[in-house]
Amino acid sequence: MPRSQVISGIEKFWNTSFIDQKLNNWVGYTLFFISAVVFGYLFANQTEAGIGLIAAIISAAVLIVCLVNTEVGLYITIIYSFFAFAFARFFYPDFPTGVVSDILIIATLFSLFIKRVNLKATFNQFMHSPVVIAIAVLFFYLMIELFNPYAHSFDGWYQTFRKLIDAVFLLFIAYKVLDSYQSIKRFLTVLFIVCTICGMYGCFQQWHGLFDSERAWVMADETRFALIFIDGDFRKFSTMSDPTAYGIIMASCGILFSIIALNEKKFRTKLIIITGLIFMFLGMAYSGTRTADAMAAAGFGMFILLTLNKRSTQIFAAILGCAFVVIMYGPIYGNQTVNRFRSTFNATEDESYKVRETNRAFIQPYIYSHPIGGGLCTTGAAGLHYNPSHYLAGFPPDSGYLKKALETGWIGLIIICVLYFVILKNSISGYFESNNKNIKIIFAACSGCLFSFYIADFAQDAIGQITDTVVYYPIIALTIRLRTLNAAVKDKSA
Protein backbone atom coordinates (compact mmCIF):
# COMPACT_ATOMS: atom_id res chain seq x y z
CA MET A 1 0.00 0.00 0.00
CA PRO A 2 1.41 3.47 -0.90
CA ARG A 3 2.54 5.61 2.00
CA SER A 4 -0.03 8.33 1.23
CA GLN A 5 -2.88 5.82 1.53
CA VAL A 6 -1.54 4.52 4.83
CA ILE A 7 -1.26 8.03 6.29
CA SER A 8 -4.71 9.04 5.04
CA GLY A 9 -6.15 5.85 6.51
CA ILE A 10 -4.66 6.64 9.91
CA GLU A 11 -5.99 10.20 9.79
CA LYS A 12 -9.49 9.00 8.79
CA PHE A 13 -9.58 6.42 11.57
CA TRP A 14 -8.34 8.95 14.14
CA ASN A 15 -10.78 11.69 13.15
CA THR A 16 -13.87 9.55 12.57
CA SER A 17 -13.58 6.75 15.09
CA PHE A 18 -11.86 8.61 17.90
CA ILE A 19 -12.22 12.39 17.72
CA ASP A 20 -15.76 12.71 16.30
CA GLN A 21 -17.43 9.65 17.81
CA LYS A 22 -15.71 9.43 21.20
CA LEU A 23 -14.49 12.86 22.22
CA ASN A 24 -16.80 15.36 20.53
CA ASN A 25 -19.17 15.41 23.54
CA TRP A 26 -19.27 16.35 27.20
CA VAL A 27 -17.20 13.25 28.12
CA GLY A 28 -14.44 14.31 25.77
CA TYR A 29 -14.49 17.88 27.03
CA THR A 30 -14.27 16.64 30.62
CA LEU A 31 -11.36 14.35 29.82
CA PHE A 32 -9.56 17.21 28.08
CA PHE A 33 -10.08 19.48 31.09
CA ILE A 34 -8.85 16.80 33.54
CA SER A 35 -5.80 16.09 31.36
CA ALA A 36 -4.92 19.79 31.24
CA VAL A 37 -5.20 20.04 35.04
CA VAL A 38 -3.06 16.92 35.57
CA PHE A 39 -0.35 18.10 33.20
CA GLY A 40 -0.37 21.57 34.72
CA TYR A 41 -0.04 20.20 38.23
CA LEU A 42 2.77 17.81 37.28
CA PHE A 43 4.80 20.47 35.51
CA ALA A 44 4.30 22.90 38.38
CA ASN A 45 5.03 20.52 41.26
CA GLN A 46 6.50 17.32 39.80
CA THR A 47 8.47 18.40 36.75
CA GLU A 48 10.23 15.07 36.25
CA ALA A 49 6.94 13.17 36.44
CA GLY A 50 5.36 15.55 33.93
CA ILE A 51 8.25 15.20 31.52
CA GLY A 52 8.14 11.43 32.00
CA LEU A 53 4.45 11.33 31.15
CA ILE A 54 4.96 13.40 28.01
CA ALA A 55 7.87 11.16 27.02
CA ALA A 56 5.70 8.07 27.54
CA ILE A 57 2.96 9.48 25.30
CA ILE A 58 5.44 10.44 22.59
CA SER A 59 7.12 7.02 22.83
CA ALA A 60 3.77 5.27 22.46
CA ALA A 61 2.95 7.38 19.41
CA VAL A 62 6.33 6.62 17.81
CA LEU A 63 5.87 2.93 18.50
CA ILE A 64 2.44 2.95 16.88
CA VAL A 65 3.85 4.66 13.80
CA CYS A 66 6.57 1.98 13.55
CA LEU A 67 3.90 -0.72 13.81
CA VAL A 68 1.73 0.92 11.13
CA ASN A 69 4.29 2.02 8.53
CA THR A 70 7.44 -0.02 7.84
CA GLU A 71 9.21 2.64 5.80
CA VAL A 72 8.64 5.38 8.35
CA GLY A 73 9.71 2.93 11.06
CA LEU A 74 13.04 2.42 9.27
CA TYR A 75 13.58 6.17 9.07
CA ILE A 76 12.67 6.63 12.75
CA THR A 77 15.23 3.95 13.65
CA ILE A 78 17.91 5.74 11.62
CA ILE A 79 17.11 9.16 13.09
CA TYR A 80 17.01 7.75 16.62
CA SER A 81 20.39 6.04 16.21
CA PHE A 82 22.01 9.29 15.10
CA PHE A 83 20.67 11.41 17.97
CA ALA A 84 20.00 9.05 20.90
CA PHE A 85 23.38 9.57 22.55
CA ALA A 86 23.04 13.36 22.41
CA PHE A 87 19.64 13.05 24.09
CA ALA A 88 21.21 10.95 26.83
CA ARG A 89 24.02 13.46 27.42
CA PHE A 90 21.67 16.44 27.66
CA PHE A 91 18.67 14.99 29.48
CA TYR A 92 19.04 11.48 30.84
CA PRO A 93 22.54 9.97 31.27
CA ASP A 94 21.16 6.50 32.07
CA PHE A 95 18.94 6.38 28.99
CA PRO A 96 18.94 2.79 27.60
CA THR A 97 19.93 3.64 24.03
CA GLY A 98 20.53 0.03 22.95
CA VAL A 99 17.26 -1.29 24.37
CA VAL A 100 15.19 1.41 22.67
CA SER A 101 16.95 0.66 19.38
CA ASP A 102 16.00 -3.02 19.75
CA ILE A 103 12.37 -2.07 20.40
CA LEU A 104 12.20 0.19 17.34
CA ILE A 105 13.65 -2.49 15.06
CA ILE A 106 11.34 -5.21 16.37
CA ALA A 107 8.29 -2.94 16.17
CA THR A 108 9.16 -2.06 12.57
CA LEU A 109 9.59 -5.74 11.73
CA PHE A 110 6.20 -6.56 13.28
CA SER A 111 4.59 -3.94 11.04
CA LEU A 112 5.07 -6.36 8.14
CA PHE A 113 2.91 -8.93 9.91
CA ILE A 114 0.32 -6.44 11.22
CA LYS A 115 -0.29 -5.17 7.70
CA ARG A 116 -0.48 -8.81 6.52
CA VAL A 117 2.11 -8.25 3.83
CA ASN A 118 2.74 -11.31 1.67
CA LEU A 119 6.33 -12.00 2.64
CA LYS A 120 6.78 -15.41 1.05
CA ALA A 121 8.08 -14.21 -2.33
CA THR A 122 10.16 -11.44 -0.76
CA PHE A 123 11.66 -13.78 1.84
CA ASN A 124 12.54 -16.44 -0.76
CA GLN A 125 14.17 -13.83 -2.97
CA PHE A 126 16.01 -12.40 0.04
CA MET A 127 17.34 -15.80 1.19
CA HIS A 128 18.65 -16.71 -2.26
CA SER A 129 21.08 -13.78 -2.26
CA PRO A 130 24.73 -14.90 -1.79
CA VAL A 131 25.17 -12.07 0.72
CA VAL A 132 22.33 -13.34 2.91
CA ILE A 133 23.60 -16.91 2.64
CA ALA A 134 27.03 -15.74 3.87
CA ILE A 135 25.39 -13.84 6.74
CA ALA A 136 23.39 -16.98 7.61
CA VAL A 137 26.64 -18.97 7.84
CA LEU A 138 28.05 -16.38 10.25
CA PHE A 139 24.76 -16.43 12.19
CA PHE A 140 24.91 -20.19 12.78
CA TYR A 141 28.62 -20.06 13.58
CA LEU A 142 28.00 -17.50 16.31
CA MET A 143 25.21 -19.72 17.63
CA ILE A 144 27.77 -22.51 17.99
CA GLU A 145 30.04 -20.08 19.89
CA LEU A 146 27.59 -20.43 22.78
CA PHE A 147 29.25 -23.79 23.46
CA ASN A 148 32.82 -22.46 23.25
CA PRO A 149 34.59 -24.15 26.19
CA TYR A 150 36.89 -21.16 26.77
CA ALA A 151 34.07 -18.66 27.37
CA HIS A 152 32.54 -18.35 30.83
CA SER A 153 29.55 -16.06 30.31
CA PHE A 154 26.19 -16.56 28.62
CA ASP A 155 25.52 -12.81 28.91
CA GLY A 156 28.68 -12.03 26.94
CA TRP A 157 27.61 -14.36 24.12
CA TYR A 158 24.08 -12.96 24.21
CA GLN A 159 25.22 -9.33 23.82
CA THR A 160 27.08 -10.09 20.59
CA PHE A 161 24.42 -12.44 19.25
CA ARG A 162 21.69 -9.89 20.01
CA LYS A 163 23.48 -7.31 17.87
CA LEU A 164 23.64 -9.77 14.99
CA ILE A 165 19.93 -10.55 15.29
CA ASP A 166 19.15 -6.81 15.19
CA ALA A 167 21.40 -6.50 12.13
CA VAL A 168 19.61 -9.33 10.30
CA PHE A 169 16.20 -7.83 11.13
CA LEU A 170 17.38 -4.40 9.96
CA LEU A 171 18.76 -5.91 6.74
CA PHE A 172 15.44 -7.58 5.94
CA ILE A 173 13.41 -4.48 6.85
CA ALA A 174 15.55 -2.33 4.56
CA TYR A 175 15.35 -4.95 1.80
CA LYS A 176 11.55 -4.90 2.02
CA VAL A 177 11.31 -1.10 2.18
CA LEU A 178 13.74 -0.39 -0.67
CA ASP A 179 11.62 -2.18 -3.26
CA SER A 180 11.58 0.61 -5.86
CA TYR A 181 13.79 3.37 -7.20
CA GLN A 182 11.55 5.95 -5.51
CA SER A 183 11.96 4.35 -2.08
CA ILE A 184 15.73 4.16 -2.60
CA LYS A 185 15.80 7.88 -3.37
CA ARG A 186 13.74 8.62 -0.24
CA PHE A 187 16.13 6.53 1.87
CA LEU A 188 19.17 8.36 0.51
CA THR A 189 17.44 11.71 1.08
CA VAL A 190 16.67 10.89 4.73
CA LEU A 191 20.21 9.63 5.30
CA PHE A 192 21.68 12.76 3.71
CA ILE A 193 19.57 15.06 5.91
CA VAL A 194 20.50 13.36 9.20
CA CYS A 195 24.18 13.17 8.19
CA THR A 196 24.20 16.87 7.33
CA ILE A 197 22.61 17.82 10.65
CA CYS A 198 25.07 15.60 12.50
CA GLY A 199 27.98 17.14 10.58
CA MET A 200 26.74 20.66 11.29
CA TYR A 201 26.50 20.02 15.01
CA GLY A 202 30.07 18.71 15.08
CA CYS A 203 31.17 21.94 13.39
CA PHE A 204 29.16 23.90 15.95
CA GLN A 205 31.02 22.09 18.74
CA GLN A 206 34.31 23.05 17.13
CA TRP A 207 33.45 26.70 16.56
CA HIS A 208 31.38 27.35 19.68
CA GLY A 209 32.82 24.83 22.13
CA LEU A 210 31.16 22.03 24.06
CA PHE A 211 28.16 22.67 26.28
CA ASP A 212 28.57 22.18 30.02
CA SER A 213 26.65 18.90 29.99
CA GLU A 214 28.91 17.59 27.21
CA ARG A 215 32.06 18.61 29.10
CA ALA A 216 30.72 16.96 32.23
CA TRP A 217 30.06 13.77 30.28
CA VAL A 218 33.60 13.74 28.87
CA MET A 219 35.21 14.38 32.26
CA ALA A 220 33.03 11.90 34.15
CA ASP A 221 35.28 9.01 33.09
CA GLU A 222 39.10 9.13 33.11
CA THR A 223 39.49 6.74 30.17
CA ARG A 224 36.95 8.65 28.11
CA PHE A 225 38.63 11.96 28.94
CA ALA A 226 42.04 10.61 27.90
CA LEU A 227 40.65 9.48 24.53
CA ILE A 228 38.75 12.69 23.77
CA PHE A 229 40.95 15.47 25.24
CA ILE A 230 44.16 15.36 23.18
CA ASP A 231 46.82 18.03 22.70
CA GLY A 232 44.86 20.60 24.71
CA ASP A 233 41.62 20.28 22.75
CA PHE A 234 38.49 18.11 22.71
CA ARG A 235 37.91 15.78 19.80
CA LYS A 236 34.38 16.41 18.52
CA PHE A 237 31.69 13.74 18.73
CA SER A 238 28.57 15.66 17.62
CA THR A 239 25.41 13.71 18.45
CA MET A 240 27.10 10.31 18.53
CA SER A 241 28.57 8.05 21.19
CA ASP A 242 32.21 9.09 20.73
CA PRO A 243 34.56 10.82 18.26
CA THR A 244 35.50 7.55 16.56
CA ALA A 245 31.89 6.63 15.75
CA TYR A 246 31.31 10.19 14.54
CA GLY A 247 34.36 10.21 12.28
CA ILE A 248 33.54 6.79 10.81
CA ILE A 249 29.96 7.72 9.93
CA MET A 250 30.93 11.09 8.47
CA ALA A 251 33.64 9.45 6.35
CA SER A 252 31.48 6.60 5.03
CA CYS A 253 28.49 8.81 4.26
CA GLY A 254 30.75 11.54 2.90
CA ILE A 255 32.12 9.03 0.38
CA LEU A 256 28.62 7.87 -0.54
CA PHE A 257 27.24 11.33 -1.22
CA SER A 258 30.43 12.69 -2.81
CA ILE A 259 30.19 10.07 -5.54
CA ILE A 260 26.49 10.82 -6.02
CA ALA A 261 27.19 14.58 -6.16
CA LEU A 262 30.02 14.09 -8.66
CA ASN A 263 27.59 12.49 -11.11
CA GLU A 264 24.53 14.65 -10.35
CA LYS A 265 23.33 16.63 -13.38
CA LYS A 266 20.96 19.09 -11.70
CA PHE A 267 22.94 22.09 -10.48
CA ARG A 268 20.59 22.88 -7.56
CA THR A 269 20.70 19.30 -6.26
CA LYS A 270 24.47 19.15 -6.70
CA LEU A 271 24.89 22.40 -4.77
CA ILE A 272 22.74 21.13 -1.88
CA ILE A 273 24.71 17.88 -1.66
CA ILE A 274 28.06 19.69 -1.78
CA THR A 275 26.93 22.02 1.01
CA GLY A 276 26.07 19.02 3.18
CA LEU A 277 29.37 17.34 2.28
CA ILE A 278 31.34 20.36 3.50
CA PHE A 279 29.86 19.91 6.97
CA MET A 280 30.36 16.12 6.86
CA PHE A 281 34.05 16.29 5.99
CA LEU A 282 34.70 19.18 8.37
CA GLY A 283 33.00 17.15 11.10
CA MET A 284 35.12 14.15 10.16
CA ALA A 285 38.27 16.25 10.47
CA TYR A 286 37.20 17.77 13.80
CA SER A 287 36.55 14.29 15.23
CA GLY A 288 40.30 13.68 15.14
CA THR A 289 39.72 10.12 13.97
CA ARG A 290 42.64 8.99 11.86
CA THR A 291 40.73 5.90 10.83
CA ALA A 292 38.22 8.18 9.09
CA ASP A 293 41.02 9.73 7.03
CA ALA A 294 42.09 6.28 5.86
CA MET A 295 38.45 5.43 5.10
CA ALA A 296 38.08 8.47 2.87
CA ALA A 297 41.25 7.61 0.94
CA ALA A 298 40.21 3.96 0.53
CA GLY A 299 36.60 4.71 -0.43
CA PHE A 300 37.56 7.25 -3.07
CA GLY A 301 40.29 4.89 -4.28
CA MET A 302 37.71 2.15 -4.83
CA PHE A 303 35.48 4.56 -6.74
CA ILE A 304 38.37 5.71 -8.93
CA LEU A 305 39.30 2.11 -9.76
CA LEU A 306 35.71 1.31 -10.74
CA THR A 307 35.20 4.35 -12.97
CA LEU A 308 38.72 5.23 -14.13
CA ASN A 309 37.60 5.12 -17.78
CA LYS A 310 35.39 8.19 -17.22
CA ARG A 311 36.89 11.63 -17.83
CA SER A 312 35.09 13.12 -14.82
CA THR A 313 36.69 10.48 -12.59
CA GLN A 314 40.14 11.23 -14.02
CA ILE A 315 39.70 14.92 -13.23
CA PHE A 316 38.37 14.08 -9.76
CA ALA A 317 41.35 11.78 -9.10
CA ALA A 318 43.80 14.52 -10.17
CA ILE A 319 42.15 17.06 -7.85
CA LEU A 320 42.19 14.61 -4.94
CA GLY A 321 45.83 13.78 -5.59
CA CYS A 322 46.84 17.44 -5.60
CA ALA A 323 44.85 18.12 -2.43
CA PHE A 324 46.50 15.15 -0.71
CA VAL A 325 49.99 16.34 -1.62
CA VAL A 326 49.26 19.89 -0.41
CA ILE A 327 47.90 18.67 2.94
CA MET A 328 50.70 16.17 3.47
CA TYR A 329 53.67 18.28 2.39
CA GLY A 330 52.44 21.88 2.26
CA PRO A 331 53.85 24.58 4.59
CA ILE A 332 51.06 24.12 7.16
CA TYR A 333 52.31 23.96 10.74
CA GLY A 334 50.69 23.96 14.16
CA ASN A 335 47.25 22.88 12.93
CA GLN A 336 46.14 19.88 15.00
CA THR A 337 43.63 18.66 12.40
CA VAL A 338 46.25 18.69 9.63
CA ASN A 339 48.87 17.09 11.89
CA ARG A 340 46.49 14.28 12.81
CA PHE A 341 45.69 13.72 9.12
CA ARG A 342 49.39 13.48 8.31
CA SER A 343 49.97 11.01 11.11
CA THR A 344 47.40 8.71 9.51
CA PHE A 345 49.72 8.08 6.59
CA ASN A 346 52.91 8.16 8.66
CA ALA A 347 51.67 5.51 11.07
CA THR A 348 55.03 3.77 11.50
CA GLU A 349 56.31 6.86 13.31
CA ASP A 350 53.35 6.97 15.73
CA GLU A 351 53.84 5.60 19.24
CA SER A 352 50.30 4.19 19.49
CA TYR A 353 50.90 2.27 16.25
CA LYS A 354 54.04 0.70 17.70
CA VAL A 355 52.13 -0.35 20.84
CA ARG A 356 49.43 -1.95 18.71
CA GLU A 357 52.00 -3.85 16.65
CA THR A 358 53.61 -5.13 19.85
CA ASN A 359 50.24 -6.27 21.19
CA ARG A 360 49.40 -8.07 17.94
CA ALA A 361 52.73 -9.89 17.87
CA PHE A 362 52.24 -10.94 21.49
CA ILE A 363 48.75 -12.38 21.00
CA GLN A 364 49.29 -14.21 17.67
CA PRO A 365 50.20 -17.58 19.30
CA TYR A 366 46.82 -17.54 21.07
CA ILE A 367 45.02 -17.15 17.72
CA TYR A 368 46.93 -20.08 16.18
CA SER A 369 46.18 -22.36 19.12
CA HIS A 370 42.45 -21.49 19.40
CA PRO A 371 40.72 -22.12 16.04
CA ILE A 372 37.28 -21.17 17.42
CA GLY A 373 38.64 -18.35 19.59
CA GLY A 374 38.22 -17.54 23.24
CA GLY A 375 34.49 -16.79 23.06
CA LEU A 376 32.32 -13.74 22.45
CA CYS A 377 32.84 -10.65 24.62
CA THR A 378 36.11 -11.89 26.08
CA THR A 379 38.43 -9.05 24.96
CA GLY A 380 38.79 -5.44 26.10
CA ALA A 381 36.42 -3.79 28.53
CA ALA A 382 33.62 -6.22 27.61
CA GLY A 383 35.88 -9.10 28.61
CA LEU A 384 36.54 -7.53 32.01
CA HIS A 385 32.80 -7.12 32.51
CA TYR A 386 31.48 -10.47 31.26
CA ASN A 387 34.53 -12.75 31.55
CA PRO A 388 36.80 -11.13 34.16
CA SER A 389 38.90 -14.26 34.73
CA HIS A 390 39.49 -14.92 31.03
CA TYR A 391 42.99 -14.81 29.54
CA LEU A 392 41.85 -12.19 26.99
CA ALA A 393 39.94 -10.00 29.46
CA GLY A 394 41.20 -6.43 29.22
CA PHE A 395 43.39 -7.11 26.17
CA PRO A 396 42.88 -4.17 23.74
CA PRO A 397 42.36 -5.63 20.25
CA ASP A 398 42.29 -2.12 18.64
CA SER A 399 41.08 -3.75 15.42
CA GLY A 400 37.86 -5.33 14.30
CA TYR A 401 39.73 -8.13 12.54
CA LEU A 402 41.94 -8.87 15.52
CA LYS A 403 38.94 -8.86 17.84
CA LYS A 404 37.11 -11.33 15.61
CA ALA A 405 40.21 -13.55 15.37
CA LEU A 406 40.57 -13.60 19.16
CA GLU A 407 36.91 -14.12 20.02
CA THR A 408 35.79 -16.38 17.15
CA GLY A 409 39.15 -17.85 16.13
CA TRP A 410 40.79 -17.99 12.75
CA ILE A 411 37.79 -19.99 11.51
CA GLY A 412 35.48 -17.12 12.42
CA LEU A 413 37.87 -14.60 10.86
CA ILE A 414 37.81 -16.55 7.58
CA ILE A 415 33.99 -16.52 7.60
CA ILE A 416 33.98 -12.75 8.22
CA CYS A 417 36.48 -12.10 5.40
CA VAL A 418 34.45 -14.26 3.00
CA LEU A 419 31.33 -12.33 3.99
CA TYR A 420 33.03 -9.01 3.31
CA PHE A 421 34.24 -10.31 -0.06
CA VAL A 422 30.74 -11.49 -1.05
CA ILE A 423 29.20 -8.14 -0.05
CA LEU A 424 31.73 -6.18 -2.10
CA LYS A 425 31.45 -8.58 -5.04
CA ASN A 426 27.69 -8.15 -5.03
CA SER A 427 27.98 -4.37 -5.25
CA ILE A 428 30.80 -4.31 -7.82
CA SER A 429 29.08 -6.92 -10.01
CA GLY A 430 25.93 -4.83 -9.90
CA TYR A 431 27.91 -1.85 -11.18
CA PHE A 432 29.25 -3.71 -14.21
CA GLU A 433 25.97 -5.49 -14.97
CA SER A 434 23.88 -2.33 -15.09
CA ASN A 435 23.42 -0.21 -18.21
CA ASN A 436 21.51 2.53 -16.40
CA LYS A 437 23.75 5.48 -15.48
CA ASN A 438 21.85 6.37 -12.31
CA ILE A 439 21.96 2.79 -11.05
CA LYS A 440 25.67 2.52 -11.82
CA ILE A 441 26.31 5.68 -9.78
CA ILE A 442 24.50 4.22 -6.76
CA PHE A 443 26.42 0.95 -7.06
CA ALA A 444 29.73 2.81 -7.30
CA ALA A 445 28.84 4.98 -4.29
CA CYS A 446 27.82 1.94 -2.23
CA SER A 447 31.00 0.08 -3.21
CA GLY A 448 33.18 2.94 -2.01
CA CYS A 449 31.15 3.29 1.20
CA LEU A 450 31.25 -0.44 2.04
CA PHE A 451 34.95 -0.77 1.23
CA SER A 452 35.72 2.13 3.57
CA PHE A 453 34.02 0.24 6.42
CA TYR A 454 36.26 -2.78 5.82
CA ILE A 455 39.37 -0.60 5.83
CA ALA A 456 38.19 1.01 9.08
CA ASP A 457 37.92 -2.45 10.64
CA PHE A 458 41.72 -2.74 10.45
CA ALA A 459 42.17 0.05 12.99
CA GLN A 460 38.85 0.04 14.91
CA ASP A 461 35.95 -2.22 15.71
CA ALA A 462 34.09 -0.23 13.09
CA ILE A 463 30.94 -2.31 12.54
CA GLY A 464 28.58 -3.07 15.40
CA GLN A 465 27.42 0.13 17.13
CA ILE A 466 23.88 1.33 16.59
CA THR A 467 25.20 4.44 14.82
CA ASP A 468 26.96 2.49 12.07
CA THR A 469 24.60 -0.49 11.68
CA VAL A 470 21.76 1.81 10.55
CA VAL A 471 23.99 2.90 7.66
CA TYR A 472 25.97 -0.25 6.91
CA TYR A 473 23.16 -2.83 6.72
CA PRO A 474 20.63 -0.72 4.79
CA ILE A 475 23.38 0.03 2.26
CA ILE A 476 23.94 -3.73 1.87
CA ALA A 477 20.19 -4.26 1.48
CA LEU A 478 20.12 -1.48 -1.10
CA THR A 479 22.76 -3.22 -3.26
CA ILE A 480 20.95 -6.57 -3.02
CA ARG A 481 17.60 -5.02 -3.93
CA LEU A 482 19.08 -2.87 -6.69
CA ARG A 483 20.50 -5.93 -8.43
CA THR A 484 17.05 -7.54 -8.30
CA LEU A 485 15.40 -4.44 -9.75
CA ASN A 486 18.08 -4.15 -12.40
CA ALA A 487 17.58 -7.80 -13.41
CA ALA A 488 13.82 -7.25 -13.64
CA VAL A 489 14.34 -4.27 -15.96
CA LYS A 490 16.64 -6.37 -18.18
CA ASP A 491 14.07 -9.18 -18.38
CA LYS A 492 11.36 -6.72 -19.47
CA SER A 493 13.59 -5.13 -22.11
CA ALA A 494 14.55 -8.57 -23.43
Between 364 and 338, the higher pLDDT residue: 364
Q: What is the percent of the chain where pLDDT is above 70?
A: 84
Q: Which residue has the higher pLDDT, 436 or 332?
A: 436
Terminal alpha carbon distance of the chain = 29
Mean pLDDT, range 262-287, rounded to an integer: 92
More confident of the two residues 4 and 69:
69
What distance in Å separates the CA atoms of residue 427 and residue 476, rounded to the nearest whole number? Answer: 8
Of the two residues 334 and 94, the one the predictor is more confident about is: 94
pLDDT for res 193: 95
Query: Per-residue pLDDT for 355 more than 60?
Result: yes
Contact (CB, 8 A) for 214 and 206:
no
Average pLDDT, the chain: 83
pLDDT digits (tens, 9 = 90+) for 463-490: 888 888 999 999 999 999 998 877 655 5
Q: Mean pLDDT lowest for which of 111-125, 235-249, 274-288, 417-431?
A: 111-125
- Look at residue 17 in the predicted model and tell me its pLDDT: 43
pLDDT at 298 exceeding the cut of 60: yes
Q: pLDDT, tens digit, for every residue of 231-240? A: 778 899 999 9
pLDDT of residue 141: 93
pTM: 0.86
CA–CA gap between residue 107 and residue 60 (Å, rounded): 11
Q: What is the DSSP string of 254-307?
A: HHHHHHHHHT---HHHHHHHHHHHHHHHHHHHHTT-HHHHHHHHHHHHHHHHHT
Q: Is the pLDDT of residue 155 over 90?
A: no
pLDDT at 222: 85
Span 117-127, average pLDDT: 81
Task: Provide the pLDDT for residue 192.
Answer: 96
Question: Can you give the pLDDT at residue 13?
Answer: 44
Task: In whole angstroms, give the CA distance from residue 247 to residue 245.
Answer: 6
Q: pLDDT for 22-75, tens place per residue?
A: 455 555 555 555 655 555 555 555 555 556 666 677 777 888 888 888 899 999
Neighbour-count burial for 363-383, b at 16+ CB within 10 Å, e otherwise = beebbeebebbbbbbbbbebb
